[in-house]
Amino acid sequence: MNSIQFGRTKILRDETEVTADNVVKIVSETFLKHRQNNIDIDELYRYYKGNQPILLRQKKIRPEICNKIVENRANEIVSFKTGYLCGEPLQYISRGDSENVTEEIGKLNDLMVLCSKEYLDTEIAEWMYICGQGYRMVLPNGTGIANQIIPKLLSRKMPIMEDESPFSIYTLDPRYTYVVYHSGIGEPPIMSVKYVCHECNSTAHEDGSVTVSVYTPKWYFELTGKSGLSALKLKRTVANTLEFIPIIEYPLNNSRMGAFEIVLPILNAINMVQSNRLDGIEQFIQSLTVLYNADIDEDEVATLRESGFIKIKNYGDQKADIKEISQQLDQQQTQTLIDYMYQTVLNIVGMPNRNGGSSTSDTGTAVIVRDGWSAAEARAKQDETSFKRSELAFLKIVLHIMRGTTETTLKLSDIETKFTRRNYENIQSKAQVLCQMLQNEKIHPQLAFTHSGMFSDPEAAYLLSKKYYNSAKEESIKPEILTDTNVITNSGGGEIA
């Protein structure tokens, strides 16, 4: 793991546009920078799966006792953070109060269900926490995209089935995908690259050749070459009528660093201590035997090993003796060290502990703060910010495809991405806050629904509640109207003035 540089390199170029004249040069030069990212990501992925440096451990003294224990805390970190961020499906909610917009966003959420976006979001989050970046690709749905669907999109004649989405979403392997950005202000993306290499992927071409797909806002280039992306040649150029780069990068942070990458030395130390700990137990059981003032041959050694019994004699005044060298490892101190290192890992990566504390008088909020759940929530909100920024680029492409097919009226400014985790935590406190805010005449009811934190989609909840309240209010007014007219209907059907 020595080659990991703690974070991935963002690939920048001075060119503002990629054309058929410079695409081969740019891809060849940017691949050299991506190659280091590729090596790091592959090592982190193998570490996450359990292939860790402790498995290469060697001992010079008593090499027959060499335990290799992998306490895979990296997998625990990634699994917790992925589940905490995307344990519930991401929802798109309305930023305004228009019922038409709310209805359109409901249809958008239905299309995401058809694309299995919940599962794909989990894949993206998992890659983000493993290596600091994930990649998503969105394309118009159907077969023959380049020759059939895109022309239909342009002519707005594409039929849409109720059980199909007009677009398809894919999660790409960051080891074989990268995005190139312009080095100017804002660093906008100028191209994305996805390649299939025989050395990197067992499903690649058997002859060892490489196929490179390059997407720009105007063009799609297909390049071919040899392993290692050498001797690249431009094979095909097609206009990109989608007008967007269909591959979007999802960086976890500015350094593009994975969740457990910063604590790799401590994780390796935990594995080493646990392995030595088991070695100590095994060496205590298989302790060495020492003879004082005695000598035995190989046959007697074999007898000692098999039966555990041997007969020795004194030589003159020297008393013969047999003893075992055994020094047991202090398990209590070892456990204290492991607990300290594990707690340090939790503090650094922002995960809650499992000790539960010793106090029985803490309130619910105090327990959340004490056990680290508030820190976990703060880290998750930080990760949300990065995820939402990339989600905007994704939604731009989705809305562009929908306008050419379903003719949606949605705008990007109408949509907000909502993470719905922990919706029922402290539900009683949230309900009390909602009621108190609704009773305050100086606070708009919509603000009460938004800031109470009780609803995953406060806008939809407000509109639905408003409709229900107005309907109930009208029902309660009807008897009063009849009373004001002084008309009462009796059981016999007559009227009394």
| The pLDDT of residue 451 is above 50 | yes
What percent of the chain has pLDDT above 70?
A: 72
- What is the C-alpha to C-alpha distance for residues 259 and 282, in angstroms, rounded to an integer? 35
Q: What is the pLDDT of residue 185?
A: 93
Q: What is the pLDDT of residue 298?
A: 64
pLDDT digits (tens, 9 = 90+) for 36-60: 999 999 999 999 999 999 999 888 8
Q: What is the pLDDT of residue 482?
A: 45
Considering Cα of 374, then 375, then 378, then 380, what sign does the dihedral take?
Answer: negative
Task: Let me know: does 82 contact 123? Beta carbons within 8 Å.
Answer: no
Q: What is the pLDDT of residue 398?
A: 93
| The pLDDT of residue 397 is above 70 | yes
| The pLDDT of residue 325 is above 60 | no
More confidently predicted of 197 and 73:
73
**pLDDT band with cut points at 50, 70 and 90 for residue 372:** confident
Distance from the first to the final alpha carbon of the chain: 94
- 133, β-bridge pairs: 251
Q: What average pLDDT score do residues 462-490 get?
A: 67
What percent of the chain has pLDDT above 90?
A: 42
More confidently predicted of 365 and 340:
340
pLDDT digits (tens, 9 = 90+) for 330-340: 778 888 899 99
Q: What is the pLDDT of residue 497?
A: 34
| The pLDDT of residue 25 is above 70 | yes
The predicted model scores a pTM of: 0.78
Closest by CA to 169, choosing from 204, 119, 98, 203, is: 119
| The pLDDT of residue 416 is above 80 | yes
**pLDDT band with cut points at 50, 70 and 90 for residue 424:** low
**CA–CA distance from 222 to each of 112, 197, 210, 233, 238 (Å)?**
29, 14, 10, 9, 9
**pLDDT band with cut points at 50, 70 and 90 for residue 208:** low
Among 132-141, 228-237, 486-495, the minimum mean pLDDT is found in 486-495
Residues 267, 270, 276: CA angle, nearest 5 degrees: 145
pLDDT digits (tens, 9 = 90+) for 102-153: 888 988 998 999 899 999 999 999 999 999 999 999 998 764 444 445 555 5
More confidently predicted of 440 and 369:
440
Task: Let me know: does 23 contact 214? Beta carbons within 8 Å.
Answer: yes
Q: What average pLDDT score do residues 437-452 get?
A: 87
Averaged pLDDT of the chain: 80
